[in-house]
Chains A and B, each alone.
Chain A
Amino acid sequence: MDAEKFLHFAEFDLQIIALSVFAILYAIKAWTIARLPMTWENAPAKGSPGAGVAASYAATVVPWMMSSSTQHWTRWLEFGLYHIGAGLAILSTFTLPFTPDLMTKPVRIVFAIFVALALVVGAIRLRRRFADPTLRIISTPDDYFSLAAVEVFFFLTFMTLVVDTDGWRLAYFLVTAAFLFYVPFSKISHYVYWFFARVLMGVRYGRRGVEPRSGGTR
């Protein structure tokens, strides 16, 4: 297989294979969780479970809804930048091969800025995990590896967005595919469970009238 054909394979066929495996594994995860037994709240409600779920999701992104965000706003900012960067990096894996017309120079620059910021935040997070004794005692090899792997992914995304030579592009798509195979087995899959966790918390707190939060003094 010559270089051009291999790049094409990595950009299209390999991505589709990796995405299919990824989707199947996630579907199995979601199905496994969905079929577990559960006794839902069934006492007469004081509040609304729907409002509780909405507030529960909002708490993740609204900085003043949790003391942990308000007390450490820089950490919340890091969290936001990291996930925006991650979202754009993931989006790029689709837009670069499948909708190249959308990836104009200004779009690439905007994407690259956010991915670069996420790369910096990732480095801070990785350093903190090694340096902070509180984090160190709870960290597993998967924690370090996942953070480092995402850093590699961000770096290659950035280089592909900015430089976009065949070499960077090939490395980017090969790493993306490897990433897609690994993610369902690692802690990076936390976002799948996040959807469930927020519903479980929101329904309980909503019915009990705890959410939406009354805005207690911080």
Chain B
Amino acid sequence: MSQQNDALKAALQELDKRYNKTIGVASSNLCTRCGWCVDQCHYYLATKDPSISPVAKAERIRRVYKRHHDWMSRIFPFWTGARELTEAELDEWVEIAFRNCTLCDRCMANCPLAVDTAQILGAARGVLLAAGKAPEMLVQLADAALAREENLDFFKEFFLEQLKDLEVEIQDRLGDDKASIPVEVEGAKFLYVPLSGAHTITPPATVFNAVGESWTISMFEAANYATYIGDTAKAKKITQRILTEAERLHVEEIILPECGHAYAAMRWEAPKWFGGPLPFRVRSILEVLDEYVREGRLSLNPANNPEPVTLHDSCNLGRKGGLFEEPRRVVRAAAEDFREMTPNRERAFCCGAGSGLVAMPEWEDMRLKAGGPKADQVRATGASVVIASCDNCRHQFTELDEHYDLNVKVMGLTELVVQAMVPAA
């Protein structure tokens, strides 16, 4: 009983702590419940369940905020549907905030009143974390990133061994036995921060070697799962590891891999956590590839990629990150037959796996269902290759391919570029 009270108390404190301008406006009488957002949400389109439309999800959280802050709701809660936060309500919030919303922002972009539903549900995630109700898997993944820093020597030895194997692949691909994956290079221009998995190391390393870039690889991973659970303190620590490394190596720029949330977190959110711009320029590998293409530093032969290719706009890179044209210029240079998905750019739908959902096996059914509208859009292009520049999206598309029998190959943009690279003479 006491534990329950503690959880509720912590939740209420967190609810209050998060009541800033954005939440204050979004949880006010701003939403008129007009329903315009309903069919703009991939969850609703996939399930036709009105209880998981954006407005219905946001209302559950909003009505608790209203109970505490709205004049009418304080006096006549029944009139506005306002409700007190209870343990049972919190338990229901877990599915609302973590399972039934990927915080993709599409509802806000299509709301005549600009109600920021993703912020409201993001706040709910933070409240659930404070109450000890955030999904354990996401909490553990965030902790794992910090554990790597604490046991760096152990990881480093293992990591360096892996890099040696990858170097051989790159040397073979480029026909250049001097090609390398530089480590701990002081004064390098770029610090490239990969994800776990060779697919985020080998292709960029191949490109960097091909253009003769000055770079060094990070000992850490760019993934920041703490952002998914609304744990700003931990998210800041995870980012700080990379900043410290970049400072120690005196690099000019931090380059992030093909990862949506890592980009949104470090490029746009981290400066808020640290109280000002970071001491390094932060870019996505997509921007670097675009620069190489525009400056003619990469010789690409689109004939190497003759299959029809389509591009998925990851929510974190696109609607939350502003990277729309950069990947398109690269795809056009690297593939013969580029086909836009409809809708695209800021209008694109989420793949259904965002905001940590891909890491939650118990919610796989819903994730695949919510990916249904995206699968239909891929099929409509007739493409046989889907470019997904976000690791979570990539994983989701690979599963959507199997689940919906799309018969497509899913790859990152850098891999497409490597395939298009004209072999050395």
B is a partner of A? yes
A189 to B345, CA, bound (A): 33
Q: Which of B341-386 contact A (CB under 8 A)?
A: 342-348
Which partner residue on chain A sits nearest B77 by CB separation? Answer: A140
Bound form: Cα–Cα A36–B24 in Å: 8
CB pair A37–B20 under 8 Å, yes or no, is yes
The interface residues of chain A lying within 8 Å CB-to-CB of B114 are: 56, 59, 194, 197-198, 200-201
Determine how close the nearest CB of chain B comes to the CB of A210; give it in whole angstroms: 5
Contact at A193–B28, with CB atoms within 8 Å?
Answer: yes
Q: B343 and A190: CB pair below 8 A?
A: no
Interface size on B, residues (CB 8 A): 68
Which residues of the other chain, B, contact A217 by a CB distance below 8 angstroms?
Answer: 340, 342-345, 347
Q: A20 in the interface, Cβ–Cβ < 8 Å?
A: no
A 61-83 binary contact with B (CB < 8 Å = 1; else 0): 00000111101100100010000
Contact B347 A196 (CB under 8 A): no
Instruction: Give A92 Cβ to nearest chain B Cβ, in Å.
Output: 23
For B321, the chain A residues whose CB sits under 8 A away are 208, 210
B66 CB, nearest partner CB in chain A, Å? 10
A132: interface (CB < 8 Å): yes
Query: Which residues of B, 26-79, contact A by the 8 Å Cβ criterion?
Result: 26, 28-40, 50-51, 53, 55-56, 59, 71-72, 78-79
List of A residues within 8 angstroms of B80 by Cβ: 140-142, 187
Q: Is B423 interfacial (CB 8 A cutoff)?
A: no
**B276 close to chain A: CB less than 8 A:** yes
Contact B110 A41, beta carbon cutoff 8 Å: no
Q: How many chain A residues touch the partner (CB < 8 A)?
A: 60
Task: Known contacts A42-B272, A142-B79; decide if A37 and B21 are in contact (CB<8 Å).
Answer: yes
B108 part of interface (Cβ distance < 8 Å): yes
B422 adjacent to chain A (CB < 8 Å): no
- The A163-195 residues at the B interface (CB cut-off 8 A) are 184-190, 193-194
| Chain B neighbourhood of A138, CB < 8 A | 33, 35, 50, 53, 55-56, 59
Q: Are B50 and A137 touching (Cβ within 8 A)? A: yes
Indicate if B258 sits at the interface (CB-CB under 8 A): no
Q: A67-B40, A200-B21 are in contact. Are A140 and B79 (CB under 8 A)?
A: yes
Contact across chains for A68 and B111 when beta carbons are under 8 A apart: yes
Return the chain A residue nearest B37 by Cβ. Answer: A68
Other 15 A-B pairs with CB < 8 A, given A36-B20, A43-B271, A138-B50 = A59-B114, A71-B39, A133-B50, A135-B35, A138-B53, A142-B72, A208-B268, A208-B321, A210-B319, A210-B320, A210-B321, A210-B322, A210-B346, A213-B346, A216-B345
Complex-state Cα separation, A187 to B114, whole angstroms: 15
- Complex alpha-carbon distance, A133 and B39, angstroms: 14
Query: Which of A34, A56, A133, A137 is the most central at the interface, judged by chain B CB atoms within 10 Å of its CB?
Result: A137
B342/A43 in contact, CB under 8 A? no
Measured in the bound complex, the distance between the Cα atoms of B82 and A141 in whole Å is: 11
Mask, B177-198, CB within 8 Å of A = 1, is 0000000000000000000000
Residue of A nearest to B24 (CB): A36
Q: How far is the CA of A112 from the CA of B25 in the complex (A)?
A: 34
Bound CA–CA A54/B81 (angstroms): 34
Q: Report A-chain residues with C-beta under 8 Å of the C-beta of B26.
A: 197
Nearest opposing residue in chain A for B270, CB measure = A43
Q: Which of A40, A133, A186, A216 is in CB contact (< 8 Å) with B29?
A: A186
> Please, which residues of chain A bring their CB within 8 A of the CB of B347?
67, 216-218
B19 at the interface (CB under 8 A from A): yes
| Residues of chain A within 8 A of B342, CB atoms compared | 217-218
B109 contacts A by Cβ under 8 Å: yes
Q: Which A-chain residue is minimally distant from B81 (CB atoms)?
A: A140
